[in-house]
Amino acid sequence: MAAISDFTVKDRKGNEVSLKAYAGKVLLIVNTATGCGFTPHYEPLEAMYREFRDQGFEILDFPCNQFANQAPGSEDEIHQFCTMKFGTEFPQFAKINVNGEDADPLFAFLAGEKPFAGFGKGLKNAALQKFADMNNRAFGDKAYIKWNFTKFLVNRQGEVVARFEPTEDMKTVRDAVAAELEK
């Protein structure tokens, strides 16, 4: 059985990074985009990072352009946007695919551990579901992630303990991170 520490990813400069480097930390792993309606999530993510990083918390940011081409820039352009507009300091990795035959194995694993359970109730969520279904049709059974800013919470033992869709209130995400850090 795979564990988070078994994966190697690429940083935004293309260097290999073993996730063993994050052993013993609480992680929030996120697929992001700079031109999405959820891009403002960077602000509460950065606030959470600044509040909790000294307690063993890391956010791992993976830009992805698979959702309506909402992350079209290079790794450097994306990084510059995030640092200039939102002051992000958490680690940002190379742009990846999270769905399809060439999906990053980390995201296939995360989604296997915590599958999609819906965007929630309400007209806005139903509209996103319809748009996500159209976008993900091409990926078939390999449509692991439904939209940008899907977040996976990983405990200090490297277990995936929660999945938050982009429609989840960021206060709920923050509270879950705080609770995990207290364990």
Residues forming the active site: 36
**Cα→Cα distances 154→23, 25, 159, Å:** 10, 8, 5
Which residues lie below 8 Å from residue 114, measured CB to CB, with a gap of 6+? 152, 160, 162, 163
Strands in the chain per DSSP E:
8-10, 16-18, 26-32, 57-63, 151-154, 160-164
Q: Could you tell me if 7 and 106 are in contact, meaning their C-beta atoms sit under 8 angstroms apart?
A: yes
The two tokens of residue 130 are 């319809």
d(CA 44, CA 38): 11
Q: Which three-class secondary structure state does DSSP give residue 161?
A: strand
d(CA 167, CA 124): 9
d(CA 86, CA 43): 6
